[in-house]
Structures are given as C-alpha cells and as structure tokens.
C-alpha cells in the first residue's frame, strides 16, 4: 500500500458524496486548485493533506491510497424507470461513484469467502431466442428451476444464482437500481437497489435489472423495452397469467388487487400485462389509466406486499464476525469505510453465530 492517494479514488469518493472540488477544498481547508491538481495527478496527495482530505471525505485513508486496480465501471443500466424523470450529470456521476464504491466494499467484504451459488450465471445471447426477451425469460426460469407460478421472493432467486444484491440509497428517486458485472469473470455481478421502493416496484425493477445483466453488454436503443418484457414474463409467465387476466374490465379492481397479492406485481403492471397480452383493447387500457388517476393509485396503490431484503452480505458479515473474529470496526475497514457510514449503509449483524446453515465455503 502506498502512502500517496490515488487521484481516481479521490474523485470517486468526492463524487459519491455529491461534493464539488470547491466543496472538498473548503471542507479540507485546502484550495480548489489544489484539489483539482491532485485529481489530475499533477500534485501528490500525502501526509497531513492526505489526512485532511480523508477526513473531509469521511473515509479511511486506506481507501484513498489502496492500490488494487480500480476497474472501469461497467454500468449495464443507467436508465430512468420514471419516464419523465431527469437526472443531471452530477447526479449521474454520483450514482456511478456510489455504485463503484459499493463494489469496492462488497469485494472487500467477500475477500476470503467463496460464494457457492446454486447455479452458474451466464450471459445470454438474445439472438438465440430470435430476439424475444420473453423467450429468454422462460429459458432462464427453466434453467434456474424456478417453479411454475408466482415467484415468492425475487431477491432470494437472484442471490441463489450468485448475484450480490445491495439495498442502499442512490440519493435520487429517479433511479431505481444499477447493476454492474465486473470484467473479471470470476467476480459476481452486483445489483444496487435504491432504498424506499415499494416491494412490487422493487420486484419488477430487480427482474428488469436481471435482464440487463444477462442480455445487455453494450447499450442498445431498445434495451429498456427488452428488459421490461423480460421482467414481465419472468415474474408472470404469459401462459399462466393470461387466463387470469381474460375479460378484465375497469370494474375488476378487486380482482386486480387479488392478482397483485398472488403474483407480486403492481396493479399498474398487471394492467400493462393484460394490454401486452391482448386481453384488453387500446380503449380499455386508456380507461384503466383514467381510473387509476381518479383513484390516486398512480401515486400509491393499495395492497402493499412484503418487503424483500437481501441476505448474502449479511451472512458474509456474520461469518467474519462469528468465525473470523472480526470486530464491526474491522469489517468497516475491510469495506473501505468509516464505522458510522458502514453501519448506516450495510447494517452489520450483531456478533452472534449465524442462525441458518451457510452455503459458503472458506478456502
């Protein structure tokens, strides 16, 4: 480990906090010009000033000087689920930086622990499914042995195939989730899911992100539509849900509420599903939208579903605490964070033995 900060890391941590170079300079008692030169590799950041900058960035010095290679951030999805939402450039950089630092933390926490997923995860070529994302979704369901019918817990399915799901704030409500797949094929993909999403929305979002992870390597024009089609079929296969949506009318909201509970899909998504499967006409679809507006259900739907919480990282932290003799402070250090933000973002368990048998192997 060097005693000099890596310029790229200073930039990343600064951007993850939404600070400008001027903000950081002021917080550290240094000039904006100095910070700028540090980040441009024109001045080395060491000694007293390094401590000041780490303090202002609320991170351990170790994170800034860590010389393990910073992998180019591969964001497979930087999309806007809310159509009219706008993300400005600095928010976008902030989300990218947060995602990157989340990966640094996850990689740190996973060090010394080998995950043994139920199934190996492979990227899929959509051309093998004649370009049909629904066919790809059916194939994934089959190869992962997802039982027919509704998926009880989507996050559990994703974690079982080795995807690391992290629930943390993405500092904007315009972005539901981000997923990345490291270039190093041996490392697991990570899905960062924004906090505060209703469970039905989170379920759809995580399936949508799964489509990006499996199907998209370079940004494509219709990737968002493809991911939505994949998500809808993955959550509620047409063959099973179509008969239940047949003959739907705007008088059938009680039925939609019941289907929402059954399939874990929002009423809005079920109406969309009915439309896409030709169970309702254009006119009916518009009537449904008017009715949803009148009911105020576009903002808040009835029938909240149980939350889905990721558990892999929690179990990894449990192993470090109970079997490797780590303290919470040491765990935070492993994650490249100070204890307070680490506890706030990763909610480490108490130092008690794991309650359930682990599917983890320690090399």
Contact positions vs Zn ion (CB under 5 A): 77, 79, 224, 227
Distance of closest approach, residue 254 Cβ to Zn ion, in angstroms: 32
**Minimum CB distance to Zn ion smaller for 227 or for 335:** 227
The H helix count followed by the E strand count for the chain is 17, 5
79 vs 100 by CB, closer to Zn ion: 79
Closest-CA residue to 103 (of 6, 187, 14, 169) = 187
In this complex, which beta carbon is closest to Zn ion, that of residue 224 or of residue 279? 224
Nearest approach, Cβ of residue 116 and Zn ion (Å): 29
DSSP 75: B
DSSP assignments along 156-205, one per residue: HHHHHTT-EEEE---S-SS--EEEE--SSTTSPPEEEE-TT--HHHHHHH
Q: Burial, 114: exposed, middle or buried (Cβ in 10 Å; 0-12, 13-18, 19+)? A: exposed
Rounded to an integer, what distance in angstroms lies between the CA atom of residue 199 and that of residue 101?
A: 25
Q: What are phi and psi of 293, to 5 degrees?
A: -65, -45
Distance from C-alpha of 272 to C-alpha of 275, rounded to nearest angstrom: 5
C-beta of 224 vs 318, nearer to Zn ion: 224
Residue 200 corresponds to which tokens in the numbers above? 């039905």
- Least distance CB 200 / Zn ion (angstroms): 17
User: Considering beta carbons, is residue 110 or 211 the nearer one to Zn ion?
Assistant: 211
User: Cβ 216 to Zn ion, closest distance in Å?
Assistant: 8
Work out how close the CB of 173 gets to Zn ion at its nearest, in angstroms, rounded to a whole number.
Answer: 16
**C-beta of 235: minimal distance to Zn ion in Å?**
15
Question: Which structure tokens are listed for 101?
Answer: 């630092």
Residue closest to Zn ion when measured from CB atoms: 79
Closest to Zn ion by CB, 225 vs 286, is 225
Contact 360, 116 (CB under 8 A): yes
Q: Which is nearer to Zn ion, 155 or 227 (CB)?
A: 227
Q: How far is the CB of 228 from Zn ion (least distance, A)?
A: 8
d(CA 138, CA 235) in angstroms, rounded, equals 10
């Amino acid at each position: 480990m060097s005693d000099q900060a890596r310029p790229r890391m200073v930039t990343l941590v600064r951007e993850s906090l939404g600070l400008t170079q001027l903000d950081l300079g002021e917080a550290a008692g240094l000039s904006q010009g100095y910070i700028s030169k540090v980040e441009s590799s024109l001045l080395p950041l060491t000694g007293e000033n390094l401590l000041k900058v780490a303090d202002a960035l609320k991170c351990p010095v170790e994170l800034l000087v860590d010389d393990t290679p910073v992998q180019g951030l591969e964001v497979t999805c930087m999309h806007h689920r809310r159509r009219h939402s706008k993300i400005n450039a600095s928010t976008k950089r902030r989300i990218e930086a947060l995602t990157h630092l989340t990966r640094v933390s996850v990689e740190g926490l996973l060090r010394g622990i080998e995950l043994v997923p139920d199934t190996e995860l492979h990227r899929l070529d959509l051309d093998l499914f004649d370009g049909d994302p629904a066919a790809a979704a059916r194939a994934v369901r089959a190869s992962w042995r997802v039982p027919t019918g509704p998926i009880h817990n989507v996050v559990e399915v994703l974690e079982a195939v080795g995807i690391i799901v992290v629930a943390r704030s993405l500092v904007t409500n315009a972005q539901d989730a981000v997923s990345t797949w490291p270039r190093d094929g041996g490392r697991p993909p990570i899905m960062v899911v924004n906090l505060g999403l209703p469970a039905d929305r989170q379920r759809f979002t995580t399936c949508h992100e799964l489509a990006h992870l499996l199907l998209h390597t370079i940004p494509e024009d219709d990737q968002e539509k493809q991911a939505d089609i994949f998500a809808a079929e993955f959550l509620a296969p047409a063959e099973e849900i179509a008969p239940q949506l047949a003959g739907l009318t705007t008088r059938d909201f009680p039925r939609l509420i019941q289907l929402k509970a059954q399939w874990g899909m929002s009423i809005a998504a079920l109406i969309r599903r009915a439309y896409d499967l030709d169970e309702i006409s254009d006119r009916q679809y518009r009537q449904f939208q008017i009715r949803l507006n009148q009911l105020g259900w576009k903002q808040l739907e009835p029938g909240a579903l149980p939350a889905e919480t990721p558990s892999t990282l929690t179990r990894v932290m449990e192993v470090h605490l109970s079997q490797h003799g780590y303290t919470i402070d040491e765990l935070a250090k492993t994650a490249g964070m100070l204890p307070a933000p680490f506890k706030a973002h990763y909610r480490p368990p108490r130092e008690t033995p794991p309650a359930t048998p682990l599917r983890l192997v320690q090399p």
